[in-house]
Structure 1
Amino acid sequence: MSSAATDSKVRTVPAGRDLTLDLTRVACVALVVFVHILFTGVGHRPDGSLLIERTVELQAWFTPASWIANIMPLFFVVGGYAARAGWRSAVARGETADRFIRIRLARLARPALPLFAFFTLVLAATRIIDLDPALVDTIAIGVGSPLWFLAAYMIVQALSPTMMRLHERYRGWVPLALIIAAVLVDAIRYVLVMGVLGVGPVPSAGYGFGDELVGVPNVVFVWLFAQQVGFFLFDGWFAKRRWWQLALLMVTGYALLFGMVSIGGYSWSMLGNQWPPTATMAVLAVVQASGLTLLHAPLTALMRTRPARAVVFLLGSRLMTIYLWHLPMIMVLTGIQLLLPLPMPSPGSPAWWWTRPVFLVVVLGAVWLLSLWLVRFEEAPASGTPRFSAPSTTVVAVVLFVVPVLAITAYGLDLLLAAVALVGTWVALRMTGSRWTRTVA
């Protein structure tokens, strides 16, 4: 998800680089931030008590809008494209798969390290000052919810050299096998757990076993499918299709989604199908790759303009920082409004809706200020000699980084899991030889 752009200056673009993908990443992150702002409805009830609601989810139009606005599959499609391009360059430089994975681990784990440290310190402080545990849980679980992306993206990046070899040998059979596996996981989760065992969702306050964990294997199957779509995008498969064929792919995809939610037991809200991911996300990956290809010409024209390049390069150099820190910043700014107090429109009121774009600019501006220090964690990492040189060390490091993040997503962010994620991330970086000095990309 991180962009190769490292500053806001218009500069020489490497030959063959498709800047529409940089634009897509930036636009997708901006949309994610805006949607989370719309989810964060905080205000006061008539009796003066605190109101916290997911405002946009209460709107009648939210569910159909999620069929278009849930762009997370597109992240993995674009990530697959970037991984294929990056792997070709790595092979040309004589790099091994182990080094390829270590670099991608550093690019995800380094920006996450200060975030986990922040969560650990803040959650420890709430224990010391004895804040209402229910309020802390409500805020922490919401703030930790986007972290699933770190684990899922790291998994598909770590497997990308293997998946590219399979892609080159078996082509379309690979995504076919992945979608079949994803549907089987969905069927097991729906029929066995929900239908026979009657186990409810995993509670946020415990570390038990429920229907949600049965769907976790689809973190691999669904997002690897989306990555394969990205491989085909890189190979030019979508570009070779006529416009009406791409449009037909999109219509067919949405028709298939309608059938899946109508008779297959899937959620009508695409957000409800995101964690654990279901086969609907795989279908959306194809739809969104087709749509991106249809829009390629106008997006290319846009990226020829200096203002567009400047914005994309500026935000692209801080993309992970924006993604990881926007929700904490939303909560901090909302808390400031409550404490001062500043004018605070009632969630869902006309004034609240009209001020959301303004709040988006404020959040992005605040995160940009924060990034002036945090960007050192996002810049191209210096790579030292790993503590242990065996490829199995890299596998262990990936597991140390990924498992705590998956646990946070499944059970909700709390002090224990934040501390475990902090330690796991630090150890993973040390094991794989990541240095902390700044380098030039």
Structure 2
Amino acid sequence: MRRLRQLAARTPAGRQRYVDLLRALAIGMVVLGHWAVAAIGEDAAGRPTGRSALPDLPWAYPLTWGAQVMPIFFLVGGYANAASLTARRAAGVDATAWLLGRGARLLRPTTALLLVIAGGAALASLAGVGATLVRTVAWFATIPLWFLAAYLIVVPLTPAMLALHRRFGLFVPATLAALVVAGDVGRALGPTELALPNYVFGWLAVHQLGIAWRDADAGRHDAHPAAQAAPRPGEAPTGPAPTRARGRRLPLSPRAGAAGLVGGLAATVLLTTVGPYPVSMLNVPGERLDNAAPPSLALLMLTVAQFGLILLLRDPAERWLRRPGPWQAVIAVNSVVLTVFLWHLSAAILLVGALDAVGWLPTAPVASTAWLAWRVPWVLMLAVVLIALVAVLGPVEARAGGGRAGNGRGGNGGRAGSGGWRARARTALTAAGFVAVVYALVVNAQTPRSAPEPLGVPVPALVAYLAGAGALRLLRSGWGGRGLPRRAGDPASGS
């Protein structure tokens, strides 16, 4: 607690605390949503099974418009990435060194998750547990990694997308939205694979909106001298303003927020009633279309509505965050926010196993009185398990966020303008490392949960991930170049 008070007291006056709050709320909503709709049952052999209760709760589909908060995470990511990259470039750090530092916060807790899962799966396989059952458990535990795969595609594109924003402004997210529409038309008229590019175009459009938000917000933010402090890897947004985009900038007034909220909601209603899109913004097994996987036009319109609400709530939220207590809580959550996200389904697996062992497993039919009554104790017990996991594994993420971005023995390799074969090789290897990691996460997500995998995770995916993450780690420690240390007074924050 003393460290939290110290970090809160040293927070720069110009820090955008609201962005930190949004990140924490988004991940919290994801966790609570997954827990609340969990339906636990038993298979023919009497073993516990789990699934989403949404197919049995059609009345809850409109509620998913508030529960689907992944767009907020990408929106905040665009803001934070633009601010961080701009600040480090102003300090003479190149984009590759920035990316290496940014990746450290994302990959260290992810590596811990995969190693623990693979190690536990290996022990279970040696103990005689079937490879199919091992994979099923690992499949559930690694569901959160689909999001990380998408985010690890978007983050390396930040330098290029920031340059496009400076040249074309709001035309960039509009173009990406048009590409999403083209993908939706493709999957409506032909095979669903035609919409696969929407995984990139859709989340990139939301991330680009965050970049535009940062640019439009820069004048207000940079009025504070303390805003020149550079954020550390994975940290929320402080730093000098980006170069202004050409053309019209994103409006941020309450009037614009109201217009975005009303217009976005109206468009979403039309698209999900008159239009072909399902009402639910979360995956419902059996639906022909999924609004989030890949992102659809309906999800983008919902994002507009959510951003409008964000603008409307900003002023009261910022006043509230000036109080020490709320701000310390936001700092605490953001210091382990990725750990919370990555391990929240593992907490459910552990709790299900424990309750099954003592005969207390809640297997009441979905929507029954007993099932509804179990929601509160179920979530509270899961919270206890997750808190224990975060207490053990959270320091992995916290240490990743407290170091240097691209710090190492790479001489001037991390300085902007440093050329030569060494710098080019460092950039190419960094790109290869990210490609290997994303490939691994995609392969794991596409491997069926019933596949016989004695390590839980497919061996090619595990090898590719460790090779990519290891290469990025070596680049950070050796060829990563010199980055910027975290300044005193910059509190912990999320990715």
1:91 is aligned to 2:102: no
Question: What displacement does 1:45 show?
Answer: 8.8
Letter paired with 1:404: A
Instruction: Please give the alpha-carbon distance, in whole angstroms, between the structure 1 residues aligned to 2:373 and 2:39.
Output: 13
Match of 2:467 among 424, 427, 434: 424
Which residue in 2 is equivalent to 1:325? 343
Instruction: Please give the alpha-carbon distance, in whole angstroms, between the structure 2 residues aligned to 1:270 and 1:88.
Output: 33
What do the CA deviations read for 1:183-218 (whole angstroms, capped 9, x no partner)?
11222223221xxxxxxxxxxxxxxxxx3x543322
Match of 1:141 among 110, 134, 139: 139
Q: In the superposition, relative to structure 1, how do residues 178 and 53 fare at CA in structure 2: closer, same or farther (>3 Å)?
A: closer
1:378 is aligned to 2:396: no
Q: In the superposition, relative to structure 1, how do residues 341 and 427 fare at CA in structure 2: closer, same or farther (>3 Å)?
A: same
Question: What displacement does 1:158 show?
Answer: 0.6
Instruction: Please give the alpha-carbon distance, in whole angstroms, between the structure 2 residues aligned to 1:125 and 1:83.
Output: 39
Superposition pairs of residues 37-76 of structure 1, within 5 angstroms:
37-43=35-41, 50-76=48-74
Normalising by structure 1, we get a TM-score of 0.85
3-state SS of 1:415 partner: coil
Match of 1:368 among 390, 399, 403: 390
**Contact 1:77–1:227 (8 Å) recurs in 2:** yes
Question: What displacement does 1:239 show?
Answer: 5.6
- How many aligned residue pairs are there? 414
3-state SS of 2:476 partner: coil
Which residue in 1 is equivalent to 2:310? 292
Greater shift, 283-292 or 56-65, is seen at 56-65
Question: What displacement does 1:155 show?
Answer: 1.6
Instruction: Please give the alpha-carbon distance, in whole angstroms, between the structure 1 residues aligned to 2:79 and 2:149.
Output: 19
3-state SS of 1:52 partner: strand
1:224 is aligned to 2:204: yes
Question: What displacement does 1:316 show?
Answer: 0.9
Instruction: Please give the alpha-carbon distance, in whole angstroms, between the structure 2 residues aligned to 1:131 and 1:8.
Output: 47
3-state SS of 1:61 partner: helix
Instruction: Please give the alpha-carbon distance, in whole angstroms, between the structure 2 residues aligned to 1:247 and 1:47.
Output: 54
Instruction: Please give the alpha-carbon distance, in whole angstroms, between the structure 1 residues aligned to 2:47 and 2:95.
Output: 55
Letter paired with 1:379: G
Question: What displacement does 1:265 show?
Answer: 3.2
Instruction: Please give the alpha-carbon distance, in whole angstroms, between the structure 2 residues aligned to 1:219 and 1:48.
Output: 37
Instruction: Please give the alpha-carbon distance, in whole angstroms, between the structure 2 residues aligned to 1:402 and 1:225.
Output: 19
Q: In the superposition, relative to structure 1, how do residues 97 and 343 fare at CA in structure 2: closer, same or farther (>3 Å)?
A: closer
Superposition pairs of residues 182-201 of structure 1, within 5 angstroms:
182-193=180-191
Superposition pairs of residues 195-210 of structure 1, within 5 angstroms:
none
What do the CA deviations read for 1:14-55 (whole angstroms, capped 9, x no partner)?
232111111111111111111121233325699966453323
Letter paired with 1:363: V
Which residue in 2 is equivalent to 1:274? 292
1:400 is aligned to 2:412: no
**Contact 1:218–1:277 (8 Å) recurs in 2:** yes
Match of 1:352 among 367, 374, 384: 374
Instruction: Please give the alpha-carbon distance, in whole angstroms, between the structure 1 residues aligned to 2:298 and 2:463.
Output: 32
Instruction: Please give the alpha-carbon distance, in whole angstroms, between the structure 1 residues aligned to 2:362 and 2:477.
Output: 44
Letter paired with 1:114: A
Question: What displacement does 1:137 show?
Answer: 4.2
Instruction: Please give the alpha-carbon distance, in whole angstroms, between the structure 1 residues aligned to 2:46 and 2:139.
Output: 24
Give unmatched runs, 5+ long, in structure 2: 218-248, 284-290, 414-421, 450-455, 479-484, 488-495
Q: In the superposition, relative to structure 1, how do residues 151 and 381 fare at CA in structure 2: closer, same or farther (>3 Å)?
A: farther
Percent identical pairs in the alignment equals 29
3-state SS of 1:106 partner: helix
Question: What displacement does 1:89 show?
Answer: 0.8
Give unmatched runs, 5+ long, in structure 1: 1-5, 194-210
Match of 1:181 among 179, 182, 186: 179
